[in-house]
């Protein structure tokens, strides 16, 4: 009597129960659930005609749109694997991911095509389909969609242990790692989001968090499961977001802390309706931002924590009973914690190096490790990284945290020196590698500094070779030539020597303090 635990089953529920309700509102286009089901079945059929078979990797490069939303259900329906591509990467990163994943099909939005056009001849076996526009010599999404025949929707078509998506995430090396997420992983995460955000058919969800970030945090399926209305936001534009919130009666959205800052600034001139339920993650939101969102906008903040490897989230800041009556500052400070285990995710611990639990005193730091239903099955074609990630039988997040007496986890530092700027991961080693490629650079170290808009920004400390002279502007331009724009250091600080331990390891905690101090002045 068992059926696969898959987001396909969740979407099938919404399609079955709410055929006449509005499923999607996208720039003047309105689709009912019945109309969406027809498009999903047609797209699944079109993928089959293109030769897509179970296990194939199908890459998707698109902002938040109706077409992108359809792909997260139609591609898995065929048994194929979605490979979402970050729309902010550079050509070298796209080239690597397409090659490493072995994608046989690329669905690309017309607005993103120029970013991959130059190297596509290197992939002669890659079929390219253009969404929301036409390119001579390329297949058109709409023409394929309506050519028929369709593939009827079957929520039991794929095993729950099968891989649903291959999500590339930046690690501490220059190359992104491919995170393998199964149908079961993504089902559990989506159900957790339904429970934590209390989603119902009366909700209107604004897709602010990019769908390519861990599959839109599971909302590409969760909102459809309950019959809610989906409103895609194609670009992070605060004014446009506020317009859609007002015009469509938005009740829920997900966003990184930097987006909250943008919304707060835009709301000063154009106040939005109150009552929105907001999921925040991607970086620890400052308590001051949470306070402003709840006080000035009248929205309710729900704080989640996790990584792509935990299918978005492993913990949730579950509000204690009566928190609404707490003083605003106390409530905001509490909500800044990363929280406790989500109902279905599994279990997160904070451990010492010997894997024993830290004292629940809010002081002793350890690494967050987790195991459970949302943990990835591994890194694609990288057994050594997978082995390291699961050392001791637990997934190691690389994040340092404390556990409070009430059981709530609070992140204090990032053990892997990851910089998160505007919700994007920036590996410090990658930036350092670019700096070392300049002939004048002898030593380089990159750390995070606070940024009022992006949350964090990369700051580089550089020691030059004897007799060499180079200015900050030249080094910044050098990095621009080698890196995606958001990875370029915002400041370069020249030093005689980098601080090191007796064993020669760079003491990055001292550099972080210097970066924070300089940032204040």
- From CA 167, how far away is CA 177, in angstroms rounded? 8
* 11 inside domain: no
**How many Å separate Cα 195 from the centre of its chain?**
20
Does the residue 269 lie in any domain? Answer: no
Burial class (CB in 10 A: 0-12, 13-18, 19+), 32: middle
What's the pLDDT tens digit per position in 284-306? Answer: 677 778 888 999 999 999 999 99
- At residue 519, the pLDDT reads 61
Helix count and strand count (H, E) for the chain: 16, 26
Query: Is the pLDDT assigned to residue 521 strictly greater than 80?
Result: no
Residue 295 per-residue DSSP state: I
Cβ neighbors of 26 (< 8 A, separation 6 or more) are 65, 66, 231, 232
Residue-level length of the chain: 521
pLDDT tens-place string over residues 421-462: 888 878 777 788 889 889 898 888 899 999 888 889 999 999
Q: Specify if 185 maps to a domain.
A: no
Q: What is the extent of the structural domain holding 445?
A: 418-520
Quick check: 504 pLDDT over 70?
no
In a domain, 466, yes or no: yes
pLDDT confidence tier of residue 160, bands split at 50, 70 and 90: very high
**How confident is the prediction for the chain on average, in pLDDT?**
92
* Overall number of domains in the chain: 1
Strand segments (E) across 208-299 = 229-232, 252-255, 277-280
pLDDT above 60: residue 505:
no
Task: Please list, in sequence order, all residues whose beta carbon lies within 8 angstroms of the beta carbon of residue 463, skipping any fewer than 6 positions away.
Answer: 441, 442, 443, 444, 494, 495, 496, 497, 498
Using CB atoms within 10 Å of the CB of residue 481, give its burial: 0 to 12 exposed, 13 to 18 middle, 19+ buried: exposed
Position 91 in a domain: no
Instruction: Determine the pLDDT at residue 412.
Output: 76
Instruction: Determine the Cα–Cα distance for residues 393 and 346; give it in Å rounded to an integer.
Output: 13
Are 326 and 335 within 8 A, CB to CB? Answer: no
Write the pLDDT tens digit of every residue in 89-107. 889 999 999 999 999 999 9
Report the CATH number at residue 426.
3.30.300.30
Tell me the three state secondary structure of residue 411: strand
Q: Is 441 part of any domain?
A: yes
In a domain, 375, yes or no: no
- Establish if 454 belongs to a structural domain: yes
Per-residue confidence at 206, pLDDT binned at 50, 70, 90? very high
Residue 29 neighbours by CB distance under 10 Å: 11
């Amino acid at each position: 009597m068992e059926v696969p635990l898959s987001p396909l089953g969740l979407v099938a529920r919404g399609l079955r129960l709410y055929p006449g309700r509005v499923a999607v509102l996208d720039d003047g286009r309105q689709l009912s659930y019945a109309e969406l089901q027809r498009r999903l079945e047609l797209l699944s059929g079109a993928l089959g005609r293109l030769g897509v078979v179970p296990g194939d990797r199908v890459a998707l490069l698109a902002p938040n749109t109706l077409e992108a939303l359809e792909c997260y259900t139609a591609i898995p329906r065929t048994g194929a694997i979605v490979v979402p591509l970050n729309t902010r990467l550079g050509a070298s990163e796209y080239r690597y991911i397409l090659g490493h994943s072995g994608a046989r099909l690329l669905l690309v939005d017309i607005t993103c095509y120029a970013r991959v056009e130059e190297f596509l001849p290197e992939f002669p076996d890659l079929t390219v389909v253009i969404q929301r526009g036409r390119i001579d010599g390329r297949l058109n999404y709409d023409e394929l969609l309506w050519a028929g025949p369709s593939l009827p929707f079957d929520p039991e078509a794929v095993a729950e242990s099968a891989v649903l998506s291959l999500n590339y995430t930046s690690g501490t090396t220059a190359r992104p790692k491919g995170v393998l997420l199964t149908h079961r992983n993504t089902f559990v995460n989506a159900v957790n989001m339904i429970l934590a955000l209390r989603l119902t058919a009366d909700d209107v969800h604004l897709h602010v968090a990019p769908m390519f970030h861990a599959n839109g945090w599971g909302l590409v399926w969760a909102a459809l499961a309950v019959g809610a209305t989906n409103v895609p936001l194609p670009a992070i534009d605060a004014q446009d977001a506020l317009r859609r919130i007002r015009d469509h009666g938005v009740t829920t959205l997900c966003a990184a802390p930097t987006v909250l800052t943008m919304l707060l600034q835009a709301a000063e001139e154009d106040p939005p309706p109150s009552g929105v339920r907001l999921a925040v993650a991607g970086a620890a939101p400052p308590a001051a931002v949470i306070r402003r969102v709840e006080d000035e906008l009248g929205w309710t903040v729900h704080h989640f924590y996790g990584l792509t490897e935990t299918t978005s989230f492993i913990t949730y800041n579950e509000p204690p009973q009566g928190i609404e009556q707490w003083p605003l500052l106390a409530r905001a400070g509490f909500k800044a914690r990363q929280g406790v285990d989500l109902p279905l995710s599994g279990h997160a611990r904070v451990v010492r190096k010997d894997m024993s639990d830290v004292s629940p005193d809010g002081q002793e730091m350890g690494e967050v490790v987790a195991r459970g239903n949302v943990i990835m099955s591994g890194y694609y074609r990288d057994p050594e990284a997978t082995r390291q990630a699961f050392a001791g039988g637990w997934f190691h997040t690389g994040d340092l945290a404390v556990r409070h007496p009430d059981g709530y986890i609070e992140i204090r530092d990032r053990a892997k020196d990851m910089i998160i700027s505007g919700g994007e991961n920036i590996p410090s080693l990658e930036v350092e590698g670019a700096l070392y490629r300049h002939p004048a650079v002898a030593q380089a170290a990159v750390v995070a500094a606070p940024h009022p808009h992006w949350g964090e920004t990369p700051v580089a400390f550089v020691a030059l070779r004897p007799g060499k002279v180079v200015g900050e502007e030249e080094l910044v331009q050098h990095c621009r030539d080698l890196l995606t724009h958001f990875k370029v250091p915002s400041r370069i600080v020249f030093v005689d020597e980098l601080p090191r331990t007796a064993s020669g390891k760079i003491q990055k905690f001292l550099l972080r303090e210097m970066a924070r101090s300089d940032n204040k002045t």
